[in-house]
Structure 1
């Protein structure tokens, strides 16, 4: 009971202090009041029963799962195997775990690199997937000296469409060609149309050569394969419309000079290649290329087995014994009354198929070429029409464009 007057006295002093200091701010008044209460409570020996809020519960550790079955599971202390602990069962500090992890990963990396170095083959030197870039001066030097090398004068004239190679040589021998202001009478002279000034019959040769062209023509009967200007029914006359529209389709480019690859007789129809590429024509037409050519021969009369044997045995043409690769009698068709033979040759001698049929005692009614190497005449290509060859067609002919 003696503590009650002491508390009352402390409270009275506090209120008195508040009344005297009404001019002070509220925060200072509250602070002073708390200090007075604490001081009064410390002077008295009274014990107050003050209860504070309970502390926040700590998160419970995850349940320990035992992998081994035993009867004394409740008595034994279980530990998770992936937690490192010391001898007393306490978990190891985080710094130790971090150091152990770094050590393990570094060892694994080293072993991997060793295994790779032992088993892997020797590395190849690095190669550029794209061409490196050079300066303008380097590109100019390359283009002037290596990109377009000098070629023979007669070949340049033929490629430019002036005339055939033989006719170009005749023009050079006649002194009608000048190179850099001087008359040149040697067809083997090396020139470059981009660097040298070439005149033919007073007309300057264009620096730009025409693009390479390749056509498949279905040659009709009565046309010859000569490129002479005096011929009225030449194969080249079938390209008149193409040449007239050249300037519209290719402005600024010189007109190409087209010619046939090999020849067909006047009476022979079918597939023939027309181009302005001399190297391509030489490779296709040369006997060393061994390109097979397929013909369909229509015979006037009956064909027996002895005729087929006679054709397969071959005949002599210009002193050379020529034998076909294949001779076959095609089955009869309702719309074709005459028998037909399929004959395949590869040498390409002059009149070879006609001589083989004549030597067998047969009379030729019509002859048509339908295939050269792997390229076959399109069935929808009409007589006198042409179609431009694609890169795939040239590949079947054994030429890479």
Structure 2
């Protein structure tokens, strides 16, 4: 700017002394021909503000999880922690997962006349039926197979299997309107119409029942109605409350698995499942039975040897699995023997004790197979068996 001002001053002075007009070329010549040096400087440009760096978000990751992911591409989630800081994690927040789990998947109803008209146009259709293939698979694999007529009558509680066969032979049973005199006839209670003495058999059979009874002394193991002191009379309350616990099912016909004589107490199994009773009572099951025998008088070593050698019962030599003299207890002054047998012949333990020259005062069965009589089960009381108890008894259903 100073150089321009000097040139202007020189030009003015010359213009005053000369009357010759000057052009722009003359002015440029005067400026460039001048020997004056100008120290021209310019102010530095205004510095621009540095851009603020992006906030660094701490990454809250687990090294072990990173190693597992490797080069796998995953979506990060930015979550604010309890202190208000933002963290980066590879899994969705727990609150979001909880809300997604509890969210309703049903479609929201739209408001408007159009939706109402569409809803009015929808006609309810009948529920689709199962296909033939599905019904065939159910009938072949899931439906109970047909059973013998005598077995169905016994399971329905009409009578025992032998008594049911007598009813069939007498012509008092009809199947689908025709008299049937063959107990081996296969029937299905759910499909076939069965009448006994003019009363129709229910379509649904009662559920299978498995009970363990602590039999008292003086009761016999018989289901005959004429017996006044049968173990079946101990289940009167159980049968009376059957309708409340199993509505719509007929009452079961209970019977004992095997027998205990009138003077023997302890464990006996009661059920309405004939196959179960046959399996665990058959000699092929080889179930051991443990008894506690209370003896009058003293027991010596020769008595134990005589019992262990066995005795002949019904022309069969029966030998016990083990014989043991139990330690004396203050509240039980009489000696007690623990005798284990597996054949279970009629009065086997009593005959073994008698053959050894001992006098038996009391006999109690405390175990069948792997199931032991509960210690807290009082005389005359029963308890339902669960699947574990049935397996301990050798039931392989």
CA RMSD of superposed structures (Å): 2.7
- Residue 300 of structure 2 is matched in structure 1 by 304
1:282: how far off? 0.7
Q: What's the TM-score, normalizing by structure 1?
A: 0.69
The number of aligned residues is 294
Give the one of 31, 52, 56 matched to 2:44: 52
Secondary structure of residue in 2 paired with 1:178? strand
1:261: how far off? 0.5
Q: In 2 relative to 1, CA 2–380 (structure 1 residues): closer, same or farther, beyond 3 Å?
A: closer
- Residue 4 of structure 1 is matched in structure 2 by 5
2:161 is the counterpart of 1:161 = no
2:171 is the counterpart of 1:170 = no
Whole-Å separation in 2 of the counterparts to 1:343 and 1:377: 15
Secondary structure of residue in 2 paired with 1:379? coil
- Residue 177 of structure 2 is matched in structure 1 by 181
The runs of at least 4 consecutive aligned structure 1 residues that moved more than 6 Å come to: 5-8, 44-47, 54-58
Give the one of 111, 124, 130 matched to 1:136: 130
Whole-Å separation in 2 of the counterparts to 1:207 and 1:378: 37
Secondary structure of residue in 1 paired with 2:298? coil
Give the one of 218, 221, 229 matched to 1:222: 218
Deviations 1:130-154, CA, capped at 9 Å, x for gaps = xxxx982233333334421111111
Whole-Å separation in 1 of the counterparts to 2:389 and 2:184: 33
1:333-372 alignment, distance < 5 Å: 333-372=329-368
Q: What's the TM-score, normalizing by structure 2?
A: 0.69
CA contact (8 A) 1:391 1:400 kept: no
Whole-Å separation in 2 of the counterparts to 1:295 and 1:319: 23
Whole-Å separation in 1 of the counterparts to 2:374 and 2:321: 23
1:49: how far off? 2.3
Deviations 1:337-380, CA, capped at 9 Å, x for gaps = 22111100001111110111111111111110011111111111
**Unmatched segments (≥5 aa) in structure 2:** 10-27, 33-37, 51-70, 72-127
- Residue 322 of structure 2 is matched in structure 1 by 326
1:56: how far off? 8.1
1:333: how far off? 1.4
1:57: how far off? 12
Whole-Å separation in 1 of the counterparts to 2:129 and 2:172: 41
1:54: how far off? 8.1
